[in-house]
Chains A and B, each alone.
Chain A
Amino acid sequence: MSEKYMVKNVFSNEKIEEDIYEITIDGKFEGNPGQFYLLRAWDEEPVLSRPISIYDKDEEKIKFLYRVCGRGTEILTKLKKGDEIKLTGPLGNGFPLEKLKGKVALVAGGIGIAPMLYLAKKLKNSSLDLYAGFRSGSKTVDDVEKNVNKLYLSTENGEVGHKGYVTDLLNVENYDVVVCCGPEIMMSKIIKMCDEKKVPLYVSMENRMACGIGACLVCTCKTKDGRKRSCKEGPVFLGEELVIND
């Protein structure tokens, strides 16, 4: 698989809910669940491209689910069918599909749901449970049940599912392996849970990036084996490898 810089065209760009958009881009793309592309639809400003994980793809298109959280993603929301968009990728290691066997729990917080939904679709594992936590109800999990055994849902405002955090619902001992992607606080909690119960865990990191291709070292995270690049050796790391600052 080779990473490339490409200029492609937007097929569609839809608002899914408050601050969440789904963009579809024409073309045949490479990449596995957990890998990402740098997206860019502007010239020099803002300086950095936006690393967004693959949400879905087929032979003709690729999809990204993104949350509007700054100037770059704000520009992305303005794109219309036919507009040009620049992509660099696929980047990063992705999830180790061959190791996700037996009873698997996927745990997603917020926009961390995007790579998890693609992973669920690709794993085709009938004993796969998805734990998804949001601030309020989310349409992103509406038709997820075709790809998972059970959906555990939590919202901070209690709109749907459990009121509170998704980690309240999770007993890691029930699983052979856990995969997680979400905010740092959720991630460190799950790292602790899996560490205590000795359950293998894979974490997808959300570090800020600059070059995205392994050269600049701004996205490194601490591991027991020294600092590693989230964009190259990651974004997916074995939970027990990571050194998390409290």
Chain B
Amino acid sequence: MTNVSISGVDFKNPVIAASGTFGFGNEYMNYFDVGRLGGISSKGLTIMPKEGNNGMRIYEVASGIMNSVGLQNPGVEHFIKEELEDMKKLNTVVIANLGGGTTEDYEKGIELLDKTDVDIIELNISCPNVKHGGMAFGIKSKVAFDVVSKVRKLCHKPLMVKLSPNAEDIVDMAVKCTEAGADSISLVNTFKAMAIDINKRRPVFDNVSAGLSGPCIKPIALRMVYEVAKAVDVPVVGMGGISNGKDAIEFIMAGATAVQVGTANFMKPDICVDIIEDIEKFMEREGINNLSEIIGIIK
């Protein structure tokens, strides 16, 4: 049995497509029945539509990619009116990923999403806080605690908070977010990173830094998931460079109830199906009847 449960929501398997790599799911329907997935986390939404960043948006590095999309998205209202109904028909858990530049943005987004059929709301606290000089909400635990507390009051749906690996103290961050009312924690978002174009003698990205993801971050992400899962008593959803079944099982053994797959979707459009099948094969080979037998077995 590959099924898992997070905050009362049942997933047929622990593999969730990560926000920003999977749109709203429909593009991938040409390649496989996305109803095979445990869930889909939507493209990151903001209360107002966003054009995203100028300049280079993607750059490849050793075993990874850097992106600077800048949350280009059609806005929460468009999502609710134009995308959600189709997404709900995909027969998988629908997670709405919400970002914001101010606490008020998050509150407005939550109020709208709370009235819809989304199964879970995933709060992206890696966004720059415009009132704090652009430092992300997810760097200082206290700032994150404040925004999660306020959102929690308005949110009647399961609330998953997605942590940034750039947090000053990832374990304290996770603890504070659960104290503020998070029903589950997902981690990690991309690492703040940099690349330079030596011929042009300037940074590759207009914003200087960009988010690093892919296999190169996996060992660090795994360590963070392990430490967080030990420290909190809510379910943890692990991600960071997961590209195959073995990677996914490592995160599960480290304490993740489910995993998200992001960058690897770019390697092969139906890679999530391969990962699900690899997990099933592993369970069969090892005589595991229920995933709960191995979640967090690493002490």
Contacts and interface: CB of A to CB of B under 8 A. Distances in A.
A13 interface: no
Interface string B138-151: 00000000000000
Interface in A44-83: 44-49, 70-71
A155 interface: no
B221 to A, nearest CB: 15
Interface string A196-233: 00000000000011111111111110100011000010
A5 B269 contact: yes
Q: Is the interface of A mostly helix, strand, loop or mixed?
A: loop
A47 B263 contact: yes
Contacts of B28: 213, 215
Q: How many residues of B sit at the interface, in one of the four size bands?
A: 35 or more
Contacts of B20: 216
Contacts of A86: 268
A94 to B, nearest CB: 16
Given A44-B63, A245-B54, 12 more contacts: A5-B31, A44-B215, A208-B57, A210-B65, A212-B266, A214-B27, A215-B22, A216-B20, A217-B57, A217-B69, A219-B57, A227-B51
Q: How many residues of A sit at the interface, in one of the four size bands?
A: 20 to 34
Interface string B231-245: 000000000000110
Nearest to A245: B54
Contact of A47 (B22, B30, B60): B60
Interface string B53-65: 0101111101111
A81 B28 CA distance: 31
Nearest to A43: B267
B270 interface: yes
A210 B58 contact: yes
Contacts of B21: 211, 215-216
